[in-house]
Structure 1
Amino acid sequence: MSLQNLWFTLIAVLWCGYFVLEGFDFGVGVLLHAIGRDERERGLLLRTIGPVWDGNEVWLLVAGGATFAAFPQWYATLFSGFYLALLLILVALIVRVLAIEYRNKESDPVWRKRWDLVHSVSAAVPALLWGVAFGNIVRGVPIDAAHNYTGSFFTLLNPYALLGGLTTLTVFTLHGAVFLALKTTGELRDRARKTVLLVGPGAAIFAVGFLTWTLVDLDGASHGHIAASAVAAVLAALTLVGGLLATWKDRDGWAFAGTAAAIVATTAALFLALHPAVMPSTTSAAYSLTVTNASSSHYTLTVMSWVALAFTPLVLLYQAWTYWVFRARVTGDGSVSVLARRSGPEGELPGHTHEGSAA
Structure 2
Amino acid sequence: MELPVIWFIAISVLWIGYFVLEGFDFGVGTLLPFMGRRNSVDRRVAINSIGPVWDANEVWLLTAGGAMFAAFPAWYASLFSGFYIPLFAILIALILRGVAFEYRGKRDSDAWRTWWDRAIFFGSAAPALLWGVVFANIVRGVAMDADHIVTASLPDLLNPYALLGGLTTLSLFTLHGAIFLTLKTDGPVRARARRAALGTACAAVPAGAVFLLWTQAAYGHPWTLPLVVVAASALVSGVAAAWKGREGWSFAFTALTVLTAVAALFGALFPNVLPSTTDPAFSLTVDNASSADYTLTVMTWVAVVFLPLVLLYQGWSYWVFRRRVTGASVTGEGVTAPDGPGRGDGAAEPRRTPVA
Sort the TM-score into its range (normalised by shorter chain). Answer: over 0.9
Q: Identify the residue that residue 27 of structure 1 maps to in structure 2.
A: 27
In the alignment, the residues of structure 1 paired with residue 330 and residue 135 of structure 2 have an alpha-carbon distance, to the nearest angstrom, of: 41
The offset of 1:167, in angstroms, is 0.4
Q: Identify the residue that residue 176 of structure 2 maps to in structure 1.
A: 175
The superposition leaves residues 269-301 of structure 1 with CA deviations (integer Å, 9 ceiling, x where unpaired) of 000000000000000010000000000001110
Length-normalised TM-score, structure 1: 0.93
Kindly report which structure 2 residues correspond to 1:261-340, keeping only aligned pairs within 5 A, or say none.
Answer: 261-334=256-329
In the alignment, the residues of structure 2 paired with residue 162 and residue 342 of structure 1 have an alpha-carbon distance, to the nearest angstrom, of: 48
Q: Identify the residue that residue 357 of structure 1 maps to in structure 2.
A: 349
The offset of 1:342, in angstroms, is 7.6
In the alignment, the residues of structure 2 paired with residue 7 and residue 36 of structure 1 have an alpha-carbon distance, to the nearest angstrom, of: 44
Kindly report which structure 2 residues correspond to 1:54-73, keeping only aligned pairs within 5 A, or say none.
Answer: 54-73=55-74
Does the 8 Å contact 1:36/1:45 carry over to 2? Answer: no
Over 3 Å counting, the alpha-carbon distance change for 1:342 and 1:18 in structure 2 is farther
For 2:104, what is the secondary structure of its paired residue?
Answer: helix
Bigger shift: 197-206 or 66-75? Answer: 197-206
The offset of 1:341, in angstroms, is 5.9
In the alignment, the residues of structure 1 paired with residue 210 and residue 167 of structure 2 have an alpha-carbon distance, to the nearest angstrom, of: 11
The superposition leaves residues 161-204 of structure 1 with CA deviations (integer Å, 9 ceiling, x where unpaired) of 01000000000000000000001112211111111111113101
Does the 8 Å contact 1:330/1:336 carry over to 2? Answer: no
For 2:105, what is the secondary structure of its paired residue?
Answer: helix
For 1:104, what is the secondary structure of its paired residue?
Answer: coil
The offset of 1:335, in angstroms, is 6.1
Does the 8 Å contact 2:234/2:253 carry over to 1? Answer: yes
Kindly report which structure 2 residues correspond to 1:247-266, keeping only aligned pairs within 5 A, or say none.
Answer: 247-266=242-261
Over 3 Å counting, the alpha-carbon distance change for 1:68 and 1:341 in structure 2 is farther
Over 3 Å counting, the alpha-carbon distance change for 1:282 and 1:232 in structure 2 is same
Code of the aligned partner of 1:236: A
Over 3 Å counting, the alpha-carbon distance change for 1:341 and 1:64 in structure 2 is farther
Over 3 Å counting, the alpha-carbon distance change for 1:345 and 1:241 in structure 2 is farther
Does the 8 Å contact 2:276/2:284 carry over to 1? Answer: yes
The offset of 1:253, in angstroms, is 0.9
2:237 pairs with one of 215, 229, 242: 242
The offset of 1:345, in angstroms, is 5.1
For 1:278, what is the secondary structure of its paired residue?
Answer: strand
In the alignment, the residues of structure 2 paired with residue 254 and residue 9 of structure 1 have an alpha-carbon distance, to the nearest angstrom, of: 27
The superposition leaves residues 14-46 of structure 1 with CA deviations (integer Å, 9 ceiling, x where unpaired) of 011000111111100000111223212101110
Q: How many residues align?
A: 346
Does the 8 Å contact 1:180/1:192 carry over to 2? Answer: yes
Q: Identify the residue that residue 12 of structure 1 maps to in structure 2.
A: 12
In the alignment, the residues of structure 1 paired with residue 67 and residue 14 of structure 2 have an alpha-carbon distance, to the nearest angstrom, of: 9
Q: Identify the residue that residue 138 of structure 1 maps to in structure 2.
A: 139
The offset of 1:153, in angstroms, is 1.4
The superposition leaves residues 102-134 of structure 1 with CA deviations (integer Å, 9 ceiling, x where unpaired) of 100000011101110121011110000000000
Length-normalised TM-score, structure 2: 0.94
Q: Identify the residue that residue 78 of structure 1 maps to in structure 2.
A: 79
Code of the aligned partner of 1:33: P
Does the 8 Å contact 2:329/2:335 carry over to 1? Answer: no
Question: Where in structure 1 are there 5+ consecutive unaligned residues?
Answer: 219-224
Code of the aligned partner of 1:128: L
